Structure 1
Amino acid sequence: MIKYFDRKTKKYSIEQVAGDIYLKWIYSSPLGMKFLEIIVKKKIFSKLYGLFCNTKYSKKKIQPFIRNFNISMDEYDINYNDFKCFNDFFSRPLKKNARHINIDKGILISPADGKLMAYDHIDLDKIVQIKGFTYSLSDLINNSIDSMKFKNGTCLIFRLCPTDYHRFHFVDWGICEPFNKIKGDYYSVNPISLENISNVFCRNKREWSIFHSYSFGDILYVEIGATCVGSIIQTYCPGKNVSKGDEKGYFKFGGSTVILFFEENKITVDKDIIFQTKNGFETKVLMGEKIGNKI
């Protein structure tokens, strides 16, 4: 059971998890863990499933998925019957103006829809994955030099579950450097996995880039793949000016994670998000909504 805080209702809700029974068996039983290590975490497993989700045969999964998880299609231009395959549906773009983007230069917005946990004054060698498990930033990006600039900074972890909008965006105006790819495994990023597997973020396939933000200094973007995530697709143009809210990229099928790192004394995160994180709860956020302020 995954309990999270909904900022709009000011109440706690229980997340409806796709493949809940499967995840619990895989990550909580001895036989499931063996199956995980031998097959599920391997690239070939996620690649084959990703290929299936690119075929017309996967289209029949779309309508039951929408129905079972109460996904509102009013936010999207295309009718579900017009998607060519499940991956087209999964990475669907929003209608224009479906999300309100706060364009105030002093306001930090969420780059994605998802569940957020926030940590300030981070120790680069003990960044929290989940209670009881930590990792180092240099291991996450395989770069000790670039990681040092975020010492004592802020870490924001956005978990995108399979039912979420799966595109991620820039939080400010600025210029983004080319992205770096790191090969890895394909563990789930669901809390069920994070509670049972150490260093998941450092083990999984991931991509990272430095965004030179005009308002918030340098921001490290890290996109992390997961079980059945066929691809991380970067759609931005490195070295070109981007605007606040512009798309940076998207994930194909699977739950995924976007992590942002900020330099020290650049931002403050909204108090309700920090409060929920300290009490062990994620906060539901939407792309474009305010989550903090410039210092």
Structure 2
Amino acid sequence: MKIFFVERKTGELKVETVAGDAYLRWTYDTKMGRSILENIMKKKFFSKMIGLYMESPFSRRRLTSFINELSIDMSEALNENISGYKSFNDFFIRKLKPEARPIAKDEEILISPADGRVLVYDNINVCKVVQVKGLDYSLEELIGDKELANSYEGGVCIITRLNPSDYHRFHFPDGGIPITSKRIEGSYYSVNPLALKKVAALYCKNKREITIFQSNNFGEILMIEVGATCVGTIVQTYKKDKQVLKGEEKGFFKFGGSTTIMFIKKDKVKLDSDLIKNSDEGYETKVYMGEGIGKRN
């Protein structure tokens, strides 16, 4: 099964290059693979072991092939020289040149918090938030707070899936103040579309971190970072209760694919029509951190 997405800049329908594609399919499509997944790969110790290797200098030997296989543009990186990275993870959490991700400054524009492939849903039913067609989950189960979940009824959900090739730092979609946060421990399933079609309520099973962000222009926003296979660490770099600027860094994911999810309350934002159209047709849209994805109502 090929994974298609829309390249927003051109409108072209493209096929995603998936790192470890054959291994991923074996894991989720075969009996033996699923057994290893449930007994080993989804466990914290497995991602922790992979993480330790990715932090070691020995992991640097993978950099050249990884960059070439996934066509990563090193001219965007603050440090363009591969030899300047101490480990694979040091490269994976690389910072970019400021001009590589310009921020849409208009206060009426909501920006993408990360690079990735986006699905958007408006007028959501918090008891049946779409994971993929045919599978859903409840917002209460995702965040562990029924009253808070119910306050987002009829609002919007924005899911940004980060491919291993993507820039892996995430940012604030507007200026404002992050006021509360909590961590929910969980498993480490892949967030690849193949896995999302196989594991019900996957986001509710994986490790995740939840921040209530009081934005300047879009009201209260739930910002959720979801870990995945080999993402043993989600690092938050912001300070609670301190004013942040639009596009300011919130944190980063260490090695692996991962996902950010935002929930915004009803009548606060109008999502861009191309994102809605593509999502309705079942296609993710490739977006970049800092570009507009909606406007204030």
TM-score normalized by structure 1?
Answer: 0.99
**2 CA distance for matches of 1:264 and 1:174?**
19
Identical amino acids, percent of aligned pairs: 49
Render the CA deviation track for 1:131-188: whole Å, top value 9, x for unaligned.
1110000100111122122111000000001000000000111000232000000000
2:194 matches 1:216: no
Match of 1:228 in 2: 230
2:269–2:296 Cα contact (<8 Å) kept: yes
Match of 1:87 in 2: 89
Q: Secondary structure at the match of 1:13?
A: strand
Match of 1:68 in 2: 69
**2 CA distance for matches of 1:142 and 1:23?**
30
Render the CA deviation track for 1:182-239: whole Å, top value 9, x for unaligned.
0000000000100111111000000001000010000000000000002000000000
Render the CA deviation track for 1:237-275: whole Å, top value 9, x for unaligned.
000000000000000000000000000000011111100
Q: Secondary structure at the match of 2:180?
A: coil
**2 CA distance for matches of 1:53 and 1:219?**
33
What amino acid does structure 1 have at the position aligned with 2:21? D
Q: 1:118 aligns with which of 117, 120, 123?
A: 120
**1 CA distance for matches of 2:180 and 2:169?**
18
- Paired residues for 1:19-30 under 5 Å: 19-30=20-31
Supply the RMSD in Å over aligned alpha carbons. 0.7
**2 CA distance for matches of 1:155 and 1:270?**
13
How far 1:64 moved relative to its partner? 1.0
**1 CA distance for matches of 2:221 and 2:151?**
10
**2 CA distance for matches of 1:80 and 1:126?**
45
How far 1:11 moved relative to its partner? 0.8
**1 CA distance for matches of 2:179 and 2:67?**
36
What amino acid does structure 1 have at the position aligned with 2:136? T
Match of 2:141 in 1: 139
2:153 matches 1:151: yes
How far 1:96 moved relative to its partner? 1.9
**1 CA distance for matches of 2:166 and 2:103?**
18
**1 CA distance for matches of 2:48 and 2:178?**
28
**2 CA distance for matches of 1:131 and 1:27?**
18
**2 CA distance for matches of 1:52 and 1:281?**
34
Render the CA deviation track for 1:64-113: whole Å, top value 9, x for unaligned.
11111110010112111110000010011111221111010111111100
Q: Secondary structure at the match of 2:222?
A: strand
1:111–1:170 Cα contact (<8 Å) kept: yes
Q: 2:188 aligns with which of 186, 192, 195?
A: 186
**1 CA distance for matches of 2:7 and 2:280?**
16
Q: Secondary structure at the match of 1:188?
A: coil
The size of the alignment, in residue pairs, is 295
**1 CA distance for matches of 2:6 and 2:274?**
9
1:154–1:261 Cα contact (<8 Å) kept: yes
2:197 matches 1:198: no
2:180–2:213 Cα contact (<8 Å) kept: no
Q: Which runs of 5+ in 2 are unaligned?
A: none
Match of 1:107 in 2: 109
Q: Secondary structure at the match of 2:55?
A: coil
Q: Which runs of 5+ in 1 are unaligned?
A: none
Match of 2:173 in 1: 171
1:16–1:69 Cα contact (<8 Å) kept: yes
Q: Secondary structure at the match of 1:179?
A: strand
What amino acid does structure 2 have at the position aligned with 1:37? E
Match of 2:44 in 1: 43
1:129–1:199 Cα contact (<8 Å) kept: yes
Q: Which shows bigger deviation, 170-179 or 263-272?
A: 170-179
1:51–1:230 Cα contact (<8 Å) kept: no
TM-score normalized by structure 2?
Answer: 0.98
Q: Which shows bigger deviation, 184-193 or 3-12?
A: 3-12
2:78–2:94 Cα contact (<8 Å) kept: no
Match of 1:251 in 2: 253
The runs of at least 4 consecutive aligned structure 1 residues that moved more than 6 Å come to none
